[in-house]
Structure 1
Amino acid sequence: MNIMTPTAARRSTHLRSSPDAPHAVVIGSGFGGLAAAVRLGARGYRVTVLEKLDAPGGRAYVYRQDGFTFDAGPTIVTAPFLLEELWQLCGRSLSDDVDLRPVSPYYRIRFDDGEVFEYSGDPDAMRAEVARFAPGDVAGYESFLKASEARFRIGFEKLGHVPFDNWTDMARVLPDLVRLAGHRSVYDLVCRHVRDARLRVVLSFHPLLVGGNPFATTSIYSLIAFLERRWGVHFAMGGTGSLVRGLVGLIEGQGNTLRCNAEIARILVTDGRATGVRLASGEEIAADVVVSNADSAWTYRHLVAPEDRRRWTDKRIEKARYSMSLFVWYFGTRRQYPDVAHHTILLGPRYRELLHDIFERKVLASDFSLYLHRPTATDPSLAPAGCDSFYVLSCVPHLDSGTDWSVMAEEYRSRIERRLSETLLPGLGQEIVTSRMLTPQDFQDRLSSFKGAAFGLEPILTQSAWFRPHNRSEEVDRLYLVGAGTHPGAGLPGVLSSARVLDMVVPDAAEIRRR
């Protein structure tokens, strides 16, 4: 399989930018912004990436304290060919800079009663696990995988890297969406294949990885199950931050620039065209094209002036539906917990009801389900010798819940600590040597996420594809969007694919020169 798109292959000329090349400014250094910068650099642009924080990565920022390394956000690498393609554009191989290791099991899923499901990419092992829980559902599990593959072939391979500029683009895919029951939810699709209540949870949780409620997210997102089976689940040695460092190295190798501590106050627009940006410091930087990797709602609500917007008005932005937020607790222990897997999903007593509280009622529930990340299971270098590095994540409502996290954060953390101590990490309270938290308020204030939503717009059908903010801005000429809030959506494959779309919508540097 040729993993490079024809466009990418044609443009992998390994050019270094020249001082007189057309200038592209990229707002934000998350994976979408860094991938966009590499692609624009490969096409002859002189690129400047501007990052609000003191280091690159955005949601993939890296915290280092007391000898421990904590990846702030993404921990799961799937579809690694999307990363390999970026390295190839620069005449290199991903393995030159990053050591990707497969993780197995993909996830260890622990139910509230202590029963465990080992979720892996091994077909025989998965059939055996399904049979252990519900022998009558093995055939249904196999048919679900086929349904997931059908959606993968359309949603990922066919549509994931193409723009949806016009309503006609959406009209062309409607027959596929109808045939694949895109109007149904992921959970509904799963229920059509398996009957066991626990297996329905196991096969439907994936939308939570991209900010969606399994009971509302379009069934197209069931493609994630097959995507994982197709390429596996990987971890970058040194942490996800090693991917960020590698991408920054590619950008600098192209002769381009990353500036940190450079917060954007406004995208400058003249006669309907983006002409540059103004920093919070007052400095103005001219540009021939502007690419925003900032949250799409934040971009339109705060960076584009109201008079330059017609579709994404303040009212429309406020009324849109947004993903849940996250409470994340990072901690290091003085001892190791060798029986804990790299990725563990620790389910609480409720599934549908808890998600209803988070997404619909927007209340902070007394119970929770948790994702526990133990990267030292794969890479011990992320903690001092004999220690473990962790983060634990709980899905919570975004800031419309009204929760005052300056008051609630420590109480909520303590409840999570008790739960972990009772289940997977005995004696945890006495073993913690370093700790920090990230709350929905931090998602808004630190990461410029509208309403503190961790994944931007919620991935329901009426906010997907053409209905999402477009990669080529509908509002401003030569303004482009990448990242979780635009097409195709959140998750590492989604944001990397959003940068891939730019190859089809951003003019070549030579064409910009001629205009």
Structure 2
Amino acid sequence: MFVREYGGRIRLGTGVKRLVARGGRVTGVETEAGETLPADEVVIGADFAHAMKHLLEPGVSAKYGAEQLKRKRCTSAGIRTRRRRCTPLSLTPSMRMKSGWYLQGGYAGLIGRLEEALRSRGVTIRTGTPVEEVLMLGSRCIGVWAGGEKLAFEHVVLNGDFPGTAALLGEQERGKAPARKYVPSSGCLLLYLGLNRTYPEALVHQFFFTEGIRDMLATVFVKGELPADPCIYAFHPSLIDPALPPGKSVLYVLVPVPSGGGVDWSGREAVVDAVLRSLERRGFPGLRAAVEWMKVRTPEDALAEGLFGGGSFGIAPSLQQSGVFRPQLAPFGIEGLYAVGASVHPGGGVPVVMQGAKQIADHILKKDCTANMHSI
């Protein structure tokens, strides 16, 4: 009734045969009855991978691939219950041609580009200089003690994983900070593979789910054990990134696993081999023989590098650790001291963390502009 009230048309029992595209843009759909329905935008309510495989014209699929046909939004809102299980509330995939950008070289290339842009604007960047303490003058942060010297700053943004940042405050300030026990997010087994071949029949992004996905989720999030048949995410950027020589490619593999210290990773070789065998069966035949080099990261490695509890996405997105209950951009109530990262609002994942960084930058700029206006 709501859709019809605003002039929308509803068709029931009308199957979609394929998407119609022209000049790099989806222009409508063709029904199974052979009728073409024009549309400015098309929202796919079906499984994304299925839509990519069956609804696109062969030429369009080959030309654009999964990366160019971006999902405009793909959000999964979830509530983690007391048993630490994540129940998806909604999953709305949407595709639109030319609605996103791929960074050549992947996220690893983002660091160098940001560094180049900052240095070109006169910003000084220090590397290999661990911050030992946040310096205070009264109720205001005035800088940091790092690399054996005092560095004065008007604003300080802490980007370490938040549960560990309180250790940088002075003893007096640590005593004022409210004591809170955080729960880490799930961990990831990550495989970085260099291959002596490509898989042109694959998609750039692929999700491989298991038949017993409920049991798998319970194994990871409730029992805290490694699943025998895990879900797997595979990213094959070489299909759209020409950085490697012809015939070479890379593959990134992510497997959800428990965080914390409950898993013994000393026998990780057997786990990795099982994952590679699973990928061979599911869509990458001959994968093990094609591997020229491989790097493996477990939650143990994440923990050693400072990620809270070995979790891959900051603190867990539980109800008590989300939204207003998550650490905010000025979590200590100290003038001039801010925080950013996966454990800080709005949450984990590189794009979301970048949104948090932008919020802090906008806040500081607005605050400085307001202060300058008041001083005039």
Alignment TM-score, normalising by the size of structure 1? 0.53
- Post-superposition Cα deviations, 1:419-470, rounded to whole Å, max 9, x if no partner, equal 1122222222221111111111221222x21111111122223212221111
How far apart, in 2, do the equivalents of 1:481 and 1:376 lie? 35
- Post-superposition Cα deviations, 1:364-410, rounded to whole Å, max 9, x if no partner, equal 222211111101011132x3320121110111111242x233x1332
For residues 1-16 of structure 1, the aligned pairs below 5 Å read none
- How far 1:505 moved relative to its partner? 5.1
How far apart, in 2, do the equivalents of 1:129 and 1:292 lie? 37
- How far 1:345 moved relative to its partner? 0.7
Report if aligned partners of 1:380, 1:388 keep a CA contact under 8 Å in 2. no
Is 2:172 the counterpart of 1:304? no
Q: CA RMSD in A?
A: 3.5
How far apart, in 1, do the equivalents of 2:129 and 2:100 lie? 34
How far apart, in 2, do the equivalents of 1:228 and 1:466 lie? 31
- RCO higher in structure (CA 8 A, sep ≥6): 1
Aligned to 2:145: 278
Is 2:303 the counterpart of 1:444? yes
Is there any run of 5+ residues in structure 2 with no aligned partner, and where? 1-23, 27-39, 52-72
**Using a 3 Å threshold, how does the CA distance of structure 1 residues 311 and 286 change in structure 2: closer, same or farther?**
same
For residues 38-437 of structure 1, the aligned pairs below 5 Å read 123=42, 126=45, 186=77, 214-215=86-87, 219=89, 222=90, 225=92, 232=99, 234-279=101-146, 281-300=147-166, 302-305=167-170, 307-309=172-174, 313=178, 316=180, 319-381=181-243, 383-401=244-262, 403-405=263-265, 407-437=266-296
Tell me the secondary structure at the aligned position of residue 444 of structure 1.
helix
* Max Rg structure: 2
How far apart, in 1, do the equivalents of 2:124 and 2:47 lie? 51
How far apart, in 1, do the equivalents of 2:144 and 2:251 lie? 38
**Using a 3 Å threshold, how does the CA distance of structure 1 residues 358 and 232 change in structure 2: closer, same or farther?**
farther
How far apart, in 2, do the equivalents of 1:337 and 1:509 lie? 52
**Using a 3 Å threshold, how does the CA distance of structure 1 residues 253 and 213 change in structure 2: closer, same or farther?**
farther
How far apart, in 1, do the equivalents of 2:48 and 2:154 lie? 55
How far apart, in 1, do the equivalents of 2:43 and 2:345 lie? 35
- The structure with more helix, counted as a fraction of residues: 1
How far apart, in 1, do the equivalents of 2:348 and 2:317 lie? 8
- How far 1:413 moved relative to its partner? 1.1
Aligned to 1:508: 368
How far apart, in 1, do the equivalents of 2:157 and 2:247 lie? 44
Alignment TM-score, normalising by the size of structure 2? 0.71
Aligned to 1:9: none
How far apart, in 2, do the equivalents of 1:129 and 1:375 lie? 18
Tell me the secondary structure at the aligned position of residue 501 of structure 1.
helix
Q: Percent identity?
A: 27
How far apart, in 1, do the equivalents of 2:352 and 2:236 lie? 24
- How far 1:501 moved relative to its partner? 2.1
Report if aligned partners of 1:310, 1:475 keep a CA contact under 8 Å in 2. no
- How far 1:271 moved relative to its partner? 2.6
Is 2:373 the counterpart of 1:454? no
How far apart, in 2, do the equivalents of 1:131 and 1:287 lie? 52
**Using a 3 Å threshold, how does the CA distance of structure 1 residues 354 and 404 change in structure 2: closer, same or farther?**
same
How far apart, in 2, do the equivalents of 1:311 and 1:420 lie? 51
**AA at the equivalent of 1:353:** D
Equivalent pairs counted in the alignment come to: 310
**Using a 3 Å threshold, how does the CA distance of structure 1 residues 311 and 324 change in structure 2: closer, same or farther?**
farther
Report if aligned partners of 1:323, 1:359 keep a CA contact under 8 Å in 2. no
**Using a 3 Å threshold, how does the CA distance of structure 1 residues 307 and 404 change in structure 2: closer, same or farther?**
farther
How far apart, in 1, do the equivalents of 2:86 and 2:314 lie? 16
How far apart, in 1, do the equivalents of 2:182 and 2:349 lie? 20
- The structure with more strand, counted as a fraction of residues: 2
How far apart, in 2, do the equivalents of 1:385 and 1:399 lie? 41
**Using a 3 Å threshold, how does the CA distance of structure 1 residues 494 and 127 change in structure 2: closer, same or farther?**
closer
How far apart, in 1, do the equivalents of 2:317 and 2:332 lie? 20
Report if aligned partners of 1:272, 1:476 keep a CA contact under 8 Å in 2. yes
Q: 1:479 aligns with which of 324, 337, 351?
A: 337
**Using a 3 Å threshold, how does the CA distance of structure 1 residues 226 and 333 change in structure 2: closer, same or farther?**
closer
Aligned to 1:57: none
- How far 1:291 moved relative to its partner? 0.3
**Using a 3 Å threshold, how does the CA distance of structure 1 residues 125 and 460 change in structure 2: closer, same or farther?**
closer
